Structure 1
């Protein structure tokens, strides 16, 4: 007799695993471009993945960390520029 998880559970875990990986990728990209949008998105995706019980907890935590880092980088650069947007020169 074999025990298998219901089909809905496997799909939910797979979705949570996808969210964990997506949060990592979005958080990493957010360090380079559009950190105002990608940072919070990474935080939300990572939080949802952790809440749904992802098997990739490390990626979700890293995505969460990168999302927070995106927002910190944005705050520092905006503070240096004294404007709502920032740029690397000029």
Structure 2
């Protein structure tokens, strides 16, 4: 019984580390395309990873910042084009 508890704890840490990395990647991709969808997902994943105590706090914070930047970029382009979407 003592051997299963550390394995469960390690799996949970690995999951939160994966969330932190995923939030960073999705936030980065959201700067280029689909920022309306990828930005909120990056924000959510980063918040959950930070709340659960990820070891990759830097990546989670970057994912959070990039997710917010995705939404701010979308708003800026929407204001410039007077449309609900933007493209190259």
Q: TM-score, normalised by structure 2?
A: 0.91
Partner Cα separation in structure 2 for residue 8 and residue 78 of structure 1: 45
Q: 1:19 matched to which residue of 2?
A: 19
Partner Cα separation in structure 2 for residue 62 and residue 55 of structure 1: 14
Runs of 4+ in 1 over 4 A off after TM superposition: none
Question: Any stretches of 5+ residues in structure 2 without a counterpart?
Answer: none
- Is residue 37 from structure 1 mapped to residue 27 from structure 2 by the alignment? no
Deviation (angstroms), 1:85: 1.2
- Superposition RMSD in Å: 1.6
Question: Any stretches of 5+ residues in structure 1 without a counterpart?
Answer: none
Q: 1:76 matched to which residue of 2?
A: 76
